[in-house]
Structure 1
Amino acid sequence: DVTNQPAVTRDLALIKVSAASEQRAEIANLVSIFRARIVDVAPDSVIVEITGTEDKIEGLVELLSPLGIVEMVRTGQVAMMRGTASGVRYAPGANGNREIKQVAG
């Protein structure tokens, strides 16, 4: 838990947007403004990857919505303590269970 610690937090979203050829330039401009990336192009859609704060992602979603969001997945917030502080990480364990591993500091 990094709630009361100095930490870097981010959210990741993949957003599939309807994209006829005449809309692709508009989508590319929005993606550029938000420092996101187009990671897949299909004949009738594109998939946009964006990483940032929840507000940043919501801003892009709001602007892409009128173009037609087909599908979206998000990680939710992930965080890491800033500086040299040690934390805890999760690693695959026996039988697929997650085991807590102390990170050497």
Structure 2
Amino acid sequence: MTKETASIHVQAKLTPAEYEPFRMIIEETGIKKATLFRHVILANKQNVFVPEKQSTDKKRLIFIASKSSNNLNQIARQLNSAYRGGVVSERVYLDVLNKLVSLESFFKKAIEKC
């Protein structure tokens, strides 16, 4: 019977706080990181965290919020450059106000659909 070799590479990133307990074990025992994490993963096969799948509505709301925040950022940039140029006229003010109202309307309609 031949021994099965480990050929699947698994990689993850940890914050310093998440890594700290493992760092202490590695330093105290001299065990390799890969060996330690392999033991941790295989010992906890029964306690695997399975994240909840996002609903289509939630994904859509996140997309809409992202799109709206990008639009809001563009409006803020436009107003800021007009202010720095000393040309915050009534026309610029009304243009920005109309864009904000449109953005609010778009966001409300999108939320109602979800």
When the two structures are superposed, what TM-score results if normalisation uses the length of structure 1? 0.28
Q: Tell me which of the two structures has the higher relative contact order, counting C-alpha pairs closer than 8 angstroms and 6 or more residues apart.
A: 1
Higher strand residue share: 1
Larger radius of gyration: 2
When the two structures are superposed, what TM-score results if normalisation uses the length of structure 2? 0.26
